[in-house]
Amino acid sequence: MHSSLYFTLTLCFATLLALAAPSSKSGIQKRSFIVKRVASPRLKARDGVEEMAKAFNKYNIPVPRDLKNAVEKRQLKKRQLAAANRVGKRSVSQRGPQRRDDMGGEQNVRLGLAASSSQRRSQLAHQRRDSMGGDQDVRLGLAASMGQRRSLHPRQDQDPAAEQTAATQQPAAEAQAGNQTQSKAQGGDQNGSVEATPEKNDAEYLAPVKIGGQELVLDFDTGSSDLWVFNTQLKNQQPQQPGLQTGGQSAQQSAQQAGQLEKAIDSHTLYNPQQSQTFKEVPGLQFKISYGDGSGAQGTVGMDIVEVGGVQAEQAVQLATSVTGSFLQDSKNNGLMGLAFSKINTVKPEKQKTFFESVMPSLQEPVFTADLRRNATGAYEFGTIDRSKFQGDMVFTPVNNSQGFWQFTSERFAVGDGQPQQATAGGQAIADTGTTLILADKNIVQGYYSQVQGAQNNKEVGGVTIPCNQQLPDLMLAVGDNMARVTGDQINFAPIEDGSAECFGGIQAVPPGTMGIYGDIFFKSNFVAFQGGSNGQGPSLGFAQHA
């Protein structure tokens, strides 16, 4: 009897163990399968390669072949992960065609994934030409001489007759509103500030803006002059399939692309002009911005009350009806606040003032400042210079705004506390909060990295890389007749891949004859003031070391 009872208990215990053991058909195994298909966070995160290519494309500078190849490899890997992710979802859910794919990266939203191998080859070939510079290298090549340097403007499709600036002619949007742009206060007493929050790797700094009382987070960009936003009109946008014939798309593919586009748009905060009591539609005005990588925005224009940190003005607001490329994928960014000069505003037939130009007469001081910090919240402030934010004296340099930028001479540099060295004579640069890296004269880049042990021109990533554990010297850059310090710790941008011992350098070279672009790497070392000019004085740029 005891043996029978022992046998029964043993059998029950074994049965319980078997039930507790994971089964190939268990939910745990299914969840594990899905997790393995999730796209790598490394590929979704921004890195130096993408940021460098983004800056080149922003200004339609021909993309070097090695950088072009590096970006294509990353995009190919994204597409492969997207395809594997869809296969995994279909095998698990049996609903593959109906599932939205949010792992496809920007190319899947803009282009979709071709159904056949022949379509896929056609798609990739077209993307290489349009998105990565290809044929544009000949079409958009820069003049070799400094005197013939072409503008760094995005392609605007602007008529020559429309080059008249908003500063010298009343914009049509303001005329439609019935008066010149009116600010909240006419006594010159406005000032205010907003926080500037960095995304991963300080790829961009985003700040809140109220338009018609609705708050959106925008990228403040001193390298452009358009205030354009994601808005409810985008609900009518149709998927675009560059390089593919619409007739070759199956209904299933079209539905998938429409779903991806809808999801990308819904991930943004949308401004709704119909919910604004102060919005005024302005018929006849339109804008179109396109960059070298195929991304861009276009749409209509209206007037509304725009407020930044309590500073407000009635302002032209560009309402995108179509947005493509990386703008769609950056769900935290709901548009651009351009803070350069209206000469490069893309609204047709008449250019519009920037927000700073609109509020400048009503500010305590005709100035705004950029206080950007590494991996920390900074601020943009209008109407005053907070002297507690910097140390020592702030020095100012006259700005040449003839091309629409905060442009200055930069023809000298020094490494650490060494003697100043000559870069290209007459070299020019612009201050651009909308660019992540510093893109500088080749002589500056070569002279700096020659003093960094282990630095190399890495063809695999299309730029200079450095050992991540290398202590870097400071770099001194000429801003007019003054020298600005960029601390070495800011120049070590980020690993080229997660876990890599090689890091992408925060300073990279531009082609000969191209103006330098001093982006956020520069700003993270310096408190910068953008002085609009007054009392007969032109605009100027001030800087000092962070406090």
User: Can you give the residue ranges of every domain in the chain?
Assistant: 39-139, 154-237+263-380, 385-545
Residue 19 three-state SS = helix
User: pTM for this one?
Assistant: 0.76
| Residue among 304, 432, 441, 520 flagged as catalytic | 432
Q: Is the pLDDT of residue 367 over 60?
A: yes
| 154-237+263-380 fold | Cathepsin D, subunit A; domain 1 (2.40.70)
Candidates 457, 346, 479, 367; CA nearest to 413 is 479
Residue 295's pLDDT is 81
Q: Among residues 47, 219, 221, 474, which one is catalytic?
A: 221
CATH topology of domain 385-545: Cathepsin D, subunit A; domain 1 (2.40.70)
By the 8 A CB rule, do 293 and 132 touch? yes
* CA gap 456, 269 in Å, rounded: 42
Of the given ranges (87-96, 117-126, 456-465, 500-509), which has the lowest mean pLDDT?
A: 117-126
In sequence order, what are the residues at sequence separation of 6 or more whose Cβ sits closer than 8 angstroms to the Cβ of residue 503? 48, 465, 466, 467, 468, 492, 493, 494, 495, 496
Considering only 112-121, 146-155, 237-246, 537-546, which range has the smallest mean pLDDT? 112-121
To 5 degrees, how large is the angle CA 197–CA 297–CA 240?
Answer: 120
Closest CA to 355 of 292, 312, 319: 312
pLDDT score of 444 more than 50: yes
Burial class (CB in 10 A: 0-12, 13-18, 19+), 356: buried
Does residue 136 come out as left (phi exceeding 0), alpha (psi in the -120 to 50 range) or beta?
alpha
Which range, 174-178, 245-249, 279-283, 330-334, is most confident? 279-283
Q: Which residues contact 243 (CB under 8 A, 6 or more apart)?
A: 111, 122, 123, 125, 126, 127, 130
Cα separation, 393 vs 397, whole angstroms: 13
C-alpha to C-alpha distance for 341 and 406, rounded to whole angstroms: 8
The conformation of residue 224, written as its DSSP 8-state character, comes to -
Nearest to 206 by CA among 215, 197, 193: 197
Same CATH topology for 154-237+263-380 and 385-545: the answer is: yes
pLDDT tens across 243-274, in order? 333 345 667 777 777 888 888 898 999 999 99
Cα gap 195→198, rounded to integer Å = 10
Active site residue 432: yes
**Residue 386 is a catalytic residue:** no
pLDDT at residue 171 above 70? no
Pairing of strands 311-324, 492-495: unpaired
Q: For the segment 104-134, what is each residue's pLDDT rounded down to a tens digit?
A: 333 332 322 233 333 333 333 343 333 333 3
CA atoms within 13 A on the CB side of 516: 33
Residues in the chain: 547
pLDDT at 99 over 70: no
